[in-house]
Amino acid sequence: MSSFRRFNCSIDSSYSNLVLMNQLPFSPDINNNALASVFNYTSATYKFYWFLSIVEEIELGSKEIKKENIFARMIANAWYPVKYFKLSFGSQDYISELINDFFNSTSITINDDKKEIRKRLLNTKESSILKKLYHLDKNVPHKFLSPWYKGTKSAVYEASQRDYDNSIYQLFKTHIIVNQNWYDYIRLNAKIIKDFIYWNLALFIQARNPNTPDVINKLIKQAKRKTLTKQRQKFWNVYLEQKPNTKCIFTNEILDINNYHVDHFVPYSFVSHDLIWNLVPINSSFNTSKNNKLPSIKKHFKDFYSLQKDAIEMFGESMPKKYKEEYLSVFPDFNDQRHIDFIKFKDIISPLITVAHNNGFEFLE
């Protein structure tokens, strides 16, 4: 039985209390050791998304599952991490390439939810899309069964159909049939099993994105992004009331306190947080076009730093405790000095922008 450390994290409303237990739930009706070892030898994300998609189908009551439904779920589950957060799945992984292909050849957008993505992939009239989905049939369906069966692809197919009491599912050309003992076990323990999958997937992806922050929270699209209303009302509105001639660091236009946006200097889709030291008031119309593009250290950092520094000095001791703590997260001596050093701040921001650019984020023109 595998063991892994306890981990608490908020991914989305469905996984708001991700707590991985010291072991998967035991059952005398299944091969527990096989289940615990399904991710022991992985060089791509296929197994994680394959198993996750099967669990989701079982949650809906499906026991005989078409492969194309599983493949479409695999793409839908991986879509947001690839297209929005631009995570790398490694050089041996074809899922990212498939997603980029579907993004360029269909009307699926970056922000479509999983249900919509599955619907468009499965309901398409283009045979080429189904053919591309079936690329995922090459290895993962039979290799996932390696803890149960060894041998060639055809041998695993035959063994899964013959020895169905042992195997998690029986393999056929167009579908799988989840065996009753595993079906009952997975339905009963679906939440814990999905936590197990996501934890192992996070470890796998983090190893391939060592400089990317907060990978665990980039695996699932949040049901709803938090607004920046509090940061606007309690921080930047207070500042702009005192500094009415403040200019947007991107457009050089004076900001209207009644019509400006609070935005992330380094895009949220990379940093995955709303900490005040990365937020800046900007021109509302410009923010619409900025999207998740990267600022230039050479062009924009000096003005960003000056605005942050001036806001800190304006607040002084009256700065809300929450925001003091957020500055403390990157400036350990902030409470003593109420100051952010230009060079230290640049040393924090520059690597984030460099890594984000290397991951595929574009610079502002």
pLDDT in tens, 23-44: 789 999 999 999 999 999 899 9
Give phi and psi for 68, each to the nearest 5: -65, -30
Whether residue 78 is found in the same domain as residue 195:
yes
Whether residue 155 is found in the same domain as residue 175:
yes
Q: How far apart are CA 364 and CA 292, in angstroms?
A: 9
Residues recorded for the chain: 365
Whether residue 165 is found in the same domain as residue 276:
no
In contact, 52 and 144? CB cutoff 8 Å:
no
164 falls in which pLDDT band (50, 70, 90)?
low
Whether residue 208 is found in the same domain as residue 253:
no
Q: Which domain holds residue 300?
A: 229-358
The DSSP symbol for 151 reads S
In contact, 279 and 295? CB cutoff 8 Å:
no
pLDDT value at residue 48: 97
Residues facing 18 on adjacent strands: 9
With tokens 């195997």, the residue in question is 167
Selected residue with higher pLDDT from 197 and 3: 197
Whether residue 168 is found in the same domain as residue 247:
no
Which of 354, 365, 248, 253 has the alpha carbon at shortest distance from 303?
Answer: 248
pLDDT value at residue 166: 81
Across 122-131, 207-216, 228-237, the highest mean pLDDT is recorded for 228-237
pLDDT value at residue 29: 92
- Of 187, 218, 249, which closes a domain? 218
Whether residue 76 is found in the same domain as residue 211:
yes
Q: Give, to the nearest 10 degrees, the angle between helix 95-105 and helix 67-83.
A: 90
Whether residue 169 is found in the same domain as residue 303:
no
Mean pLDDT of 320-338: 88
pLDDT value at residue 124: 83
Q: How far apart are CA 258 and CA 263, in angstroms?
A: 15
In contact, 110 and 94? CB cutoff 8 Å:
no
List the strands of the sheet with 175-178, edge to edge: 64-66, 175-178, 169-171
Distances (CA, A) of 216 to 90, 172, 203, 206: 17, 34, 8, 8
Q: How far apart are CA 61 and CA 57, in angstroms?
A: 7
Domain contains 159: yes
239 falls in which pLDDT band (50, 70, 90)?
very high
Instruction: Read off the amino acid at residue 288.
Output: T
Mean pLDDT of 100-129: 91
Whether residue 61 is found in the same domain as residue 204:
yes
Mean pLDDT of 287-300: 91
Statement: residue 183 has pLDDT above 90: yes
Q: How far apart are CA 125 and CA 269, in angstroms?
A: 33
Whether residue 167 is found in the same domain as residue 263:
no
Q: How far apart are CA 185 and CA 17, in angstroms?
A: 21
Mean pLDDT of 242-256: 96
Mean pLDDT of 93-116: 93
pLDDT value at residue 182: 96
Please tell me the least confidently modeled range out of 8-12, 112-116, 164-168.
Answer: 8-12
Mean pLDDT of 298-320: 95
Interval 33-91: pLDDT, tens: 999 999 998 999 999 999 999 999 999 999 999 999 999 999 999 999 999 999 999 88
**End-to-end C-alpha distance for the chain, whole angstroms:** 53
Statement: residue 1 has pLDDT above 80: no
Domain contains 73: yes
Statement: residue 297 has pLDDT above 90: yes
Whether residue 98 is found in the same domain as residue 51:
yes
pLDDT value at residue 130: 85
Whether residue 171 is found in the same domain as residue 40:
yes
Coil/strand/helix, residue 326: helix
Whether residue 213 is found in the same domain as residue 293:
no
Whole-number average pLDDT of the chain: 90
Statement: residue 152 has pLDDT above 60: yes
pLDDT value at residue 223: 66
Helix, strand, coil percent content, the chain, rounded in steps of 5: 55, 10, 40
DSSP states along 271-297: H----GGGEEEEEHHHHHHHTTPBPPI
Q: What percent of the chain is modeled with pLDDT above 70?
A: 93
pTM for the structure as a whole: 0.84
With a CB cutoff of 8 Å and minimum separation 6, the contacts of 15 are 9, 194, 195, 198, 220
Q: Domain count for the chain, please give it.
A: 2
